[in-house]
Chains A and B, each alone.
Chain A
Amino acid sequence: MIPLSSYLAVSSVLFVTGLIGVLIRRNFIIILMSVEIMLNAANLNLVAFSSYLDSMAGQIVALFIIAIAAGEAAVGLAIIIVVFRGRIATNVDQINLLKW
């Protein structure tokens, strides 16, 4: 049996990967992907804890997070497409109308 700590190590690596991806990548699609990686790190954590603690709550939370991540991608891609149509831009640096 794989010990809990291995799951936690993988999920931490995933989470940090997503975090760094959001902070340093410039393309919106890739930022969105990085956020999905962060959410999936949380899912992995939840399912691992759920099996380790023998409690159902974690798995239920993970299911809801998956559903919400899907909705998030739908709304986000729609907004990205609107911006792309108006400005032909998918990079963070090109979106700079609003600043003081």
Chain B
Amino acid sequence: MPFTFTMTPADVELLMPEILMTGLLSVILFLDFLFPRIEKTTLAWLSIAGMGGIFVLLADYFIEDRHGTLFREMYIVDPMAIFFKAFILGTTILVFLASMDYLKKVPVFRGEYYFLGLLAALGMMLMASVNDLLSMFITLEFSTFSFYILVAYLRDDAQSNEAGLKYFILGVFAAGLLAFGISLLYGETGSILFTDFAKMHAHLTPGLIIGFLLIFVALGFKVGAVPFHAWVPDIYQGAPTPVTAFLSIAPKAATFAILLRIFMATVGDIKGDWVWLVVGISAISMTYGNIVAIAQKNIKRLLAYSGIAQIGNVLIGLAAASKMGGDSVLFYFLTYLFANVGAFAVVIIFSNLTNSDALEDYDGLSRRSPLLAFALLIFFLSLAGVPPLAGFIGKLYVFAAAMNEGLVALVVIGGINIVISMYYYLVVIKRVYINMPKENTPIPVSFPMRLVLFTTVGGVLFLGIYPKAFIEISVAATNLFGRMI
């Protein structure tokens, strides 16, 4: 069978954001090598400017409603893919802003950090466009490889090394499961394209069931849903804090792009057969994450367990398996982005000065830095889901989507979990506002950090008070989305 490879100018145009991103990261790498004395924050600002440009290009694509497929349908560009690409770029920009101060403490290899960050972002942008099993495997590994190195980035820090090793072992284990699942699906259907699966209407054979389960487990590892969550708290605690912030949101969003494509466009017809699985995992993730978070003494671990619970909330939208469910997943990720990256920004600023992530050191933060205390209050209330903040609208949207599909029990469990989560978020808020500080040194907040804090606080407030604009974006993003049921 002859293999012809053609790319028309229109195809190149569809791929332009990734091409530009590749160019950007090459420039950053070469600048770092050619001018070893270059100020590393210059590299950071340069990458942020470049990503800002690509972000604008993506926004333009979104407004123009560009769509199409490349490489024999292996790679798809549609509004949902563009939404997730822009989402990942936005996250990367915020994380780079938050990394600058932190990296001043790292003795060597500071330039490569930005290169690896861009590489991970590129991998995740490709993940958003995945339309077949092969590109799913390659792009997942592509982004995860960069994260293995980023997590183990502090070479002389035993905790960071250990976190990198644990992440690596569990990551490659998931890759092994994924590869075997792919081989089984290919054997049963004779194709690797998602769109072909959708056309087949095949009855479920054991091979198909095992294959889908293995792929689901591997993707569950990436998003950190219970029972595949074992790596989450350790890696969150051990990794450099900006990397934790990155890891806690971007790969999860990109993996959800794949999950939405597989579960809704491909096996949407037989949703009765798999909804119970997603419902179960969602309920366990929420409950487990919130209950274990109560016992935590380290703020990064607390945010890790809260992250597990938030993923449970996102899975409610997937369990709804309707167009509205898809919209609500996209919107929930927007609300989660601002609150979560903001909370980690506060943790970064605090640990830059104190070198501590222990919750007891947060006593009396409001007397040391009213700005940080207020920001943390906003982020935690939003994560808990208090009106009128972003998290409230996000949860409401997800619950509404589930109610429309009759998943009453899941919504009730979600409601109970809001109450549980309120407890541990408020315990931290009490420490910050009511307890007396042990020392009174004020905490300085640098310019890039201020930028992150103002953007995220602004985002949380805006999404909460005027969600309409962003809900319209989420709805438009899934409009074209395949054969959504």
Contact = CB atoms under 8 A, between A and B. Distances in A.
Interface of A: 8, 11, 15, 18-19, 22, 28, 31-32, 35, 38-39, 41-43, 45-46, 48-49, 52-53, 55-58, 60-61, 64-65, 68, 71-72, 75-76, 79-80, 82-83, 86-87, 95, 97-100
B180 A95 contact: no
B131 to A, nearest CB: 14
3 pairs of A and B residues whose beta carbons are closest in the complex: A38-B176, A45-B183, A42-B179
Contacts of A83: 161-162, 164-165
Nearest to B169: A31
A97 B158 contact: yes
Contact of A76 (B1, B138, B168, B296): B168
A49 B186 contact: yes
A15 B180 contact: yes
Given A71-B145, A76-B168, A79-B152, A98 B237 contact: yes
Nearest to B135: A64
A98 B159 contact: yes
29 contacts: A11-B183, A19-B176, A32-B169, A35-B172, A38-B177, A38-B180, A42-B179, A42-B182, A42-B183, A46-B183, A46-B186, A48-B187, A49-B190, A58-B186, A64-B137, A64-B138, A72-B141, A76-B168, A79-B152, A79-B165, A79-B168, A83-B165, A87-B161, A95-B162, A98-B162, A98-B237, A98-B238, A100-B233, A100-B301
Interface of B: 1, 3, 133-134, 137-138, 141, 145, 148-149, 152, 155-156, 158-159, 161-166, 168-169, 172-173, 175-177, 179-180, 182-184, 186-187, 190-192, 233-234, 237-238, 295-296, 301
Nearest to A71: B145
A75 B183 contact: no
A99 B398 CA distance: 33
Contacts of A68: 137-138, 141, 175
A82 B155 contact: yes
B165 A80 contact: yes
A28 B161 contact: no
Contacts of B168: 75-76, 79
Nearest to A60: B134
A57 to B, nearest CB: 5
A57 B192 CA distance: 7
Tell me the interface secondary structure of chain B in the complex: helix
B161 A35 contact: no
Nearest to B189: A53
B38 to A, nearest CB: 25
B179 A32 contact: no
Residue among B145, B186, B296 with most chain A CB within 10 A: B186
Nearest to B163: A98
Contact of A65 (B3, B161, B179): B179
Contact of A35 (B3, B176, B295): B176
Given A56-B1, A57-B191, A61-B192, A42 B176 contact: yes
Contact of B169 (A28, A57, A82, A87): A28
Given A86-B156, A100-B296, A61 B186 contact: yes
Contacts of B176: 18-19, 22, 35, 38-39, 42
Nearest to A99: B234
A44 to B, nearest CB: 8
Nearest to A94: B162
Contact of A38 (B149, B152, B163, B179): B179
Contacts of B296: 100
B283 to A, nearest CB: 23
Nearest to A80: B165
A82 B166 CA distance: 13
Nearest to A4: B187
A6 to B, nearest CB: 14
Residue among B138, B159, B190 with most chain A CB within 10 A: B190
Nearest to A12: B180
A72 B180 contact: no
Contacts of B137: 61, 64-65, 68
B166 A76 contact: no
A75 B186 contact: no
Residue among A28, A42, A60, A82 with most chain B CB within 10 A: A42
Given A72-B175, A100-B295, A61 B133 contact: yes
A11 B234 CA distance: 33
B180 A35 contact: no
A46 to B, nearest CB: 5
A97 B134 contact: no
B304 to A, nearest CB: 10
A59 B162 CA distance: 36
